[in-house]
Amino acid sequence: MELIKNLQWRYATKKFDTTKKVSANDLEKLKEAIQLSVSSYGLQLYKVLIIEDPELRKQLKPVSWDQSQITDASHLFVFCHYTDATPEAIDEFIIQTAETRNLDVKRLSGYGDFIKSKLAEKSTEDKTGWLKSQTYLALGNLLNACAELKIDACPMEGFEVDSYNEILNLEAEGLSASVIAPIGYRHPEDHTIGMPKVRKSLEKLFSEV
């Protein structure tokens, strides 16, 4: 199983080679992998920024705990969730579903109403947590795709959300940064290369009932 080999190869890269860039072709593959991610109800209520601009990343580095990956990696992926699951967003999804599957949109109206009713039951805090969690599903696809392409990545929560939102003007789009992932190629002097993975044993991690 190549996936297992790829997951054994990958690690959270701490030092990137600034001379190496991810190709446009590989970026398109990563974008498609994210596009195919699962999400609750299929809504995909998030947006992903792919930042290459070095000047912009210099602005983001101080509000990312001054971590070198922000500026040294080839690209920086910023996963952003929408701050609300609006009825309009759900209607848009229902219309897209009908068009994609060649269905009468009226046949799906009940499903749309069901989604709206379930989300209306959530508190504001719970809804925010739900929206944010969707981006982590997409992040997982990015990490797996990177591993297959032998592109290094480092998922990171160590950044100031409010500062990212301000610098990237996310609030104007109804978005908030959730999690980030610099991608590129490991530097041979990264001190974490080759460190054994620390994971719970299968016996401790799983119970079969």
How many Cα atoms within 13 Å fall on the side-chain side of residue 20? 13
What DSSP assignment string belongs to 143-166?
HHHHHHTT-EE--B--S-HHHHHH
In tens, the pLDDT along 61-117 reads 999 999 999 999 999 999 999 999 999 999 999 999 999 999 999 999 999 999 999
pTM above 0.95, yes or no: yes
Q: Please identify, in words, the CATH class of the domain defined by 14-185.
A: alpha beta
How many Cα atoms within 13 Å fall on the side-chain side of residue 95? 6
Q: Which of 135, 9, 21 is nearest to 82 (CA)?
A: 135
Which residues lie closer than 8 Å to 89 by C-beta, 6 or more apart? Answer: 43, 45, 82
Domain positions in the chain are: 14-185
Q: Could you list the beta-strand ranges (E) of 19-137.
A: 46-51, 75-82
